[in-house]
Structure 1
Amino acid sequence: MAFIDELLQEPAYGWKNEKGELMKPSVWELYKEAFRRINIFKDKRNWISLISWLMAVCMVPFVYFFLADYFSWWYLGAAIVYGMVIMSTHGTVWFHRFGTHKAFTFKNKFWRIITQNLVLRTFPEEMYVLSHHVHHVKVEEPGDPYNAYAGLMYCMLSDVNHHSIAKDLSEENYKKAAGFLAHTGVQINSYDQYKKWGSVATPLYTVAIWLLNWSFWFGAFYLIGGPGLACALFGGALFWFILVRAFNYNGHGNGEAKHVDGIDFDRSNLSINQTRPGLFSGEWHNNHHLYPGSARAGFLPNQLDLAWLYIKGLHKIGGVTSYKDSKPLFLKNQLAKYQAAQQEQQEMKAGKRKVLVS
């Protein structure tokens, strides 16, 4: 079995059914698996799955106090912008382009740590990076941790059901898995610690950086706008934290082929370029699947890429030393050929019209 096939812990319902096809569990089976995966009393190695949901639960009181005591339309607007633009763009920069694809390199630890903590932490790097590597290798095949063919809830609950590392990796394969996270600065377990805790990241590091991050940002928000702003922006972070789980369903056409000519050039999978995720976070998803290692995904003139602007801005001030930009390849290999084919079709149609007229 290939390393990537055994990297993630297989759910109780399996990746495939008896016919070898994609397993499409019921909503009940999905929730049953989710609560099994966060049960640390049954297996303490479930701690990292629990952390993912625990962070969300800890944000709920902030939402309550915002709505009950501090509500204002200005705060609500700030929460929406924070969640849908700032949190989203950071997710693209940190988790997606750097954490998973190493699309750019930081000059030193200072710029890496600053970027890592630019917003409220909502889930550990491990819960995104490992599963995303599998997603790109097995996109829309059995084993894809957020396979759009299996439905919305399959994707929504994938963070706890499908993202955890397998608990029985060999030492060689565990080192490969740990290598996916080494550049992020995460404190990594030894192989013996992995067998004890069932994760790449150490529990102490994961919890400590979470508490430090939240303490800093609550204090900063409080100083800027008082408790009302702090509660509103924590609420905005929760809003993003929930909605981002639906992205890989929506971003892959809700399990249907919805490609648009002249916009979606990669037809090897269901990924599509969508306006809202693209403009708000630089997540032009079809472009990304076409060139996953690129620090820029906004290739067409109207495709604003805020994540790319951040990376390029850091490069200009020296915080980023190098990056991969696949726009020239896209313009040469995809757009130019498409435009040439379109021009040829127009000329053929024009020639047919002339023949009919004559």
Structure 2
Amino acid sequence: MWTFVVGPMICLIIAVPLAWGWGLSALDIGMAVVAYLVSGFGLTVGYHRLFTHRSFKARRGLRIALAVAGSLGVEGSPVQWVANHRRHHAFADREGDPHSPWRYGTDVRALLKGLLHAHIGWMLKRELSNRARFAPDIAADPDLRLIGQLFGPLTAVSLLAPALVGGLVTGTWTGALTGFFWAGLIRMALLHHVTWSVNSICHVAGRRPFASRDKATNFWPLALLSFGESWHNSHHADPTAARHGVLPGQLDPSARLIWVFEKLRWVHDVRWPSSERLSARLLPTPGTPNESTG
């Protein structure tokens, strides 16, 4: 676990000076973007909105594809990811939440310690959530169980496939190395820190237009990079909704992809947000829009 947590962070630190002088090509950028989109949507649409919150139902082929894509994000097997996240919602910002930034208190020092814990520390402590309690449906699914068993090989594919493509296209070891670095490690590190920021930043900084039992916030700067996941207050106010960006101007690429899947009839029974439900939870804060999208 330390390898995948600390290693990419070191790579991020050296990424800027490396890119400034050499080693970043259009091929590397293209592979990194594609890998980020595939693995990112696998996590947000698959792991999160489909498997964790059952915001929609999908055909078997799409369920398998989303589970594989999510595994390529290298954030754990489907069953463990779902168990951790359902536990987070069950105890959000209270005793039992695996990654609340308010764990140690509310003063500045305690909050800084809590942010570090929420962002990365909780994973290093290996406090795994009980799969049988929080994700029995995922553990019982034979397709997802098999994909979980293949998490190691899928991790290797996620990191080494860009190196293979880079080497084959350029015909050089340099192309393989830069492909591995940019589209493998750096892409994975960026996706990890965006995901972890939803755990940390999106429970401290931002706006809270909706009433919820916790301190989840909407943090707009992460909206595109997180594919709509940083509309976290909206999500905690209505966890099973397929769309998190429910107010005017809130971009939610994950919801748009689900909409496309629905039009293609690959998914059904989509739980789109209810205007009545959201209106009932909308807080009368000055400057907050008074209407939500349906």
TM-score normalized with structure 1 length: 0.60
1:320 to partner: Cα distance: 1.6
**Structure 1 range deviating more: 86-95 or 154-163:** 86-95
Structure 1 counterpart of 2:181, from 231, 256, 271: 231
Alignment partners' CA distance in 1, 2:199 and 2:121: 11
Relative to 1, partners in 2 of residues 1:84 and 1:215: Cα closer, same or farther, differing over 3 Å?
A: closer
Task: Tell me the SS of whatever aligns to 2:224.
Answer: helix
Report the counterpart of residue 53 of structure 2 in structure 1. Answer: 101
* 1:272 maps to amino acid: T
Report the number of matched residues: 265
Relative to 1, partners in 2 of residues 1:333 and 1:224: Cα closer, same or farther, differing over 3 Å?
A: farther
Structure 2 counterpart of 1:318, from 259, 265, 271: 265
Q: Is 1:250 the equivalent of 2:201?
A: yes
Which residues in structure 2 correspond to 1:183-332 (within 5 Å)? 183=141, 185-187=143-145, 204-216=149-161, 218-219=163-164, 226-227=175-176, 228-234=178-184, 235-253=186-204, 259-260=207-208, 264-280=209-225, 281-283=227-229, 284-332=231-279
Asked if the contact 1:100/1:133 (under 8 Å) is kept, the reply is yes
Relative to 1, partners in 2 of residues 1:162 and 1:143: Cα closer, same or farther, differing over 3 Å?
A: farther
Root-mean-square deviation (Å): 4.0
Larger Rg: 1
Relative to 1, partners in 2 of residues 1:269 and 1:216: Cα closer, same or farther, differing over 3 Å?
A: same
Percent identity between matched residues is 21
Alignment partners' CA distance in 2, 1:60 and 1:277: 18
Gaps of 5+ in 1: 1-49, 167-172, 189-200, 344-358
1:324-345 Cα offsets, whole Å, 9 max, x none, are 111434454345x859xx99xx
* 1:233 maps to amino acid: A
Alignment partners' CA distance in 2, 1:329 and 1:230: 48
1:174 to partner: Cα distance: 3.2
Relative to 1, partners in 2 of residues 1:92 and 1:132: Cα closer, same or farther, differing over 3 Å?
A: same
Asked if the contact 2:94/2:100 (under 8 Å) is kept, the reply is yes
Alignment partners' CA distance in 2, 1:259 and 1:85: 27
Alignment partners' CA distance in 2, 1:275 and 1:62: 26
Alignment partners' CA distance in 2, 1:184 and 1:102: 17
1:141 to partner: Cα distance: 0.9
Report the counterpart of residue 195 of structure 1 in structure 2. Answer: none
Alignment partners' CA distance in 2, 1:57 and 1:271: 26
Q: Which has the higher contact order (CA 8 A, sep 6+)?
A: 1
Relative to 1, partners in 2 of residues 1:113 and 1:86: Cα closer, same or farther, differing over 3 Å?
A: closer
Report the counterpart of residue 27 of structure 1 in structure 2. Answer: none
TM-score normalized with structure 2 length: 0.72
Gaps of 5+ in 2: 104-113, 290-294
